[in-house]
Structure 1
């Protein structure tokens, strides 16, 4: 087995020449425009907006958007490629994936024609950065427990509430806000609706920029809504159907999350193989020790298992199959495997693995959140159990 077999998977069944051209172009762009600056972005705790605009100029953002709105009309594989390549640079670029692969599709699937014409050009160019505001200080996995309200007032809605852990919270120009339009609804999730809020709207403000264990350059913040008045035309989708809209999008969000975790696992394996071949102890390469070989053999097997599962689900998702239970399996198992691999790979790096100059130290921090976001892995197991009829 070679490193190429583990990592590159150049001959994936679903890759066409067009996909490979897109990947190679994106890889060259990131090598020039992101890799040399990424460590500084991590220190700054922010990816500059200028980089987003460069991505947009090259057609890398929201490439799946219909051509009539300025997109390329590309398929889901382009989304997979964007996720993989930005993850190889660093998890701190994850906000780009949130923007392009997770939140912008809400407008495509539930937005009106007017909303699409208004917002897609900016989302594609990088001029407009989008976020989704679900989580609150007292409501995470239990989405029906949110307290943010949107009260109808004539031809407007007035939004009040607070959100936290919002990816792209600092940079966002447009936010999909999850609100209660009917606090008395029974069951509670039937009272949830989605609204588009522009960052310049009076009453909207950003709270703390949150200091995370990892993913440092990915801006994450609190958002505050105090009597934020938005026109009724900013309702996204159908009033009272917000929960169902969110659930419809979670299959792709969790699949994309699994893609990121799988890429991290592949990268950690690759960098560790390279390190143990070069590092010498007791007169021989660390890679010659049986313990090292066994550890890497186990990790390589798990990485390949994850890749096989993931690739099968990517194809099913492209075919339009409803595979929520299987995607939950992938999101849980792959993110858990990635988190378990990190300390093993750090250990094989020895003392150098604890030094910031070695990438494994950053990966050790960054992969920790994988089993938490996009639905905790405990929730994934609930979904799997339901799929089993339990």
Structure 2
């Protein structure tokens, strides 16, 4: 836009607003946000423009808030500069709709900011644009991420549209990496949504992969590599199947020194004691606290994994599917595997017996 500053009033409406936004001419407020590298970026704006679209901005600048009198350099430390720039650009009147040109990440940020500042028309337009994009063939990772996003912002229309796409071709989406990056609660909802559209073995395979991706299959016991100049052994991991062999409760009565001797699996406790005489009690107590925190974290993971496993209807599987799926998984104990497989075999035997009784000629050999 090549125009002399003195004649900016001669531009059309979109160009005038664009000029005011880019130059900050006649601005009476400013916002400080941060770039991806943490750098401070200042946006000079106009109170009147902001107040015409947002009751939040109106109360901010005309109410009994600090911003009413100190409206320069208002810091928004939880908003990225790229997101705030798109938000402000959408507020200043434009002839063209810029939403189609924004990536999905920016569009989601616009929905968040429009909800936060009660810019109702922008929120509606962004949600409408999001629904339009869902009608296209979006990347499976984006569709799955929108499933969690719709739950977070409580947008049932978006959620319904996302679920329809997933249910129409579930295998396309369960193999996407975004599925295994869902939060615990969202994944639990997601896996139960699939109950009617995929086989139970498939659901179990998804659960097993999710547990592996999040490290539910192993419980790391970590400690520093070097402590007061002492070289320590590498981190070892404990197999959850043999977790009973690593009973944390029996360590509660031990001193921190004895605890470390056990954790580091030294050749002898005496050797460890001799080497650790220089370690302070404060350092030992910190390691003990870290181990206790690890125990609590592992316990919560175990409980969630158990919740996932309990949602699987094992007895609806065939004996073959069970053996190549849950039967060969580390997630189930041998006792549970035997119990489920026994129930499946009994059910299959009853079905075969029922079929034979209804067709007595099945015994005849031709």
TM norm structure 2: 0.28
CA radius of gyration, larger in: 2
Specify which structure has the higher proportion of helix: 2
TM norm structure 1: 0.27
Ranked by relative contact order (alpha carbons within 8 Å, sequence separation 6 or more), the top structure is 1
Specify which structure has the higher proportion of strand: 1
